[in-house]
Amino acid sequence: MHYLTFIGRRLLHIVPVLIGISLVSFLLVMLVPGDPVRLVLGPRATDDAVAAMREAWGLDRSLLSQYLTYVGNVVQGNLGDSLKYRLPVWDLIAQYLPRTAFLIGYVLAMTVPVTVLLAVTAARREGDWPDQVIRLLSVLGMTIPVFWLAVIFARLFGIQLGWFPVSGYGEGFLGHLHHLFLPAVSTSLWLAPVLTRNLRGALVQQMDADYVAACRAKGLPERLIFRRHILPNSVLPTLNLLGVMIAFLIGGSVVVEIVYAVPGLGALMIGAVLGRDYFVIQGLTLVYALVTVLVTLVIDLLTAAIDPRTVG
């Protein structure tokens, strides 16, 4: 029961956030220098034509009424049309989003098991050579820039060895796995160390906790104590960091998507920014914000499911 009320309260918190997001994404286009109508019709359009279009688009109405119209449209899934592709923005996003989502899922599937394995190994052998090696590799992984790694991988495994394609998204599930392997590895090599360091730190801290001594006093063997007590108590900070990282990856996948020519949200965003495709930028801003809100929500609900103290 408590958990359900917690979910309810947590969902209520989203409402003001959503209003804020809609305001920002709405004002984004309003505050752009220059007149979007002029941009569409070109500099040589007559004043009458501009006025007609302004009226047609409702730009002559008050800001509030425009905002309400905008929110109404967004709720119905209408994000406007791309100026460049002459397609509904929603259709574009629906086409590009799954690829980025697939890439992020792929990255997580690679990163999470490796992170847990490395962090547990390092923590259990704290100070010994496996710990030292893992810590050294972590620092290395975090310091190498993703774009550089991506370029090197593309050259080595893509062009010289020819093991993996260096561009595109591929056909079918296996095709996706094959095509996105290098982009996913490049991202994982940076993400895994960040998470590993975080989880190892938490594990080492929890291993000294008083309740661990109490478990030993009960006569429980070390393995059981680790699995049942130390690990669940350690994952919470890392889980929250993971949430932040996923939200970051949605927007931050740009680099690998460009290097490996993956037609995902990042690529769409770059194209839209360069082509001043305002409604696509607006739509993407909205989607990025909503996904971030969603990821945070999921992480919070997971945290609450693990830790009864959050529910209160």
Give residues in contact with other proteins (CB under 8 A): 209-211, 213-221, 224, 228-229, 232-233, 306-309, 312
CB contact at 8 A, 264 and 255: no
Task: Find tokens 């690829």 and name the residue.
Answer: 99
Q: At closest approach, how far in Å is the CB of 190 from other proteins? A: 30
Cα–Cα distance measured from residue 77 to residue 301, given in angstroms and rounded to the nearest whole number: 27
Query: Min. distance of Cβ 310 from other proteins in angstroms?
Result: 10
Instruction: Please state the closest distance from residue 243 (CB atom) to other proteins, in A.
Output: 19
Which residue lies nearer to other proteins by CB, 225 or 269?
A: 225
Q: Which is nearer to other proteins, 86 or 218 (CB)?
A: 218
**Smallest gap, in angstroms, from Cβ of residue 222 to other proteins?**
10
Handedness of CA 170, 175, 176, 178 (dihedral sign): negative
CA distance 131 to 136: 9
Nearer to other proteins, 105 or 130 (CB): 130
Dihedral Cα 64, 66, 71, 77, nearest 10 deg: 180
Nearer to other proteins, 127 or 162 (CB): 127
Q: Residue 18 or 213: which CB sits closer to other proteins?
A: 213
Taking the complex as a whole, the smallest distance from the CB of residue 58 to other proteins amounts, in Å, to: 44
- Quote the least distance from Cβ 159 to other proteins, whole Å: 50
8 A C-beta contact, residue 232 and residue 249: no
Q: Please state, in angstroms and rounded to a whole number, the distance separating the CA atoms of residues 188 and 156.
A: 18
Rounded to 5 degrees, what are φ and ψ at 292? Answer: -60, -45
Nearest to 21 by CA among 70, 87, 76: 70
Shortest approach of other proteins to residue 208 CB, angstroms? 9
Closest to 182 measured CA to CA, from 201, 205, 154? 154
Question: CB neighbours (10 Å) of residue 1?
Answer: 5
For the chain, how are helix, strand and coil distributed in percent, rounded to 5?
80, 0, 20
Residue closer to other proteins, measured from CB, 77 or 308 = 308
Q: Which is nearer to other proteins, 47 or 210 (CB)?
A: 210
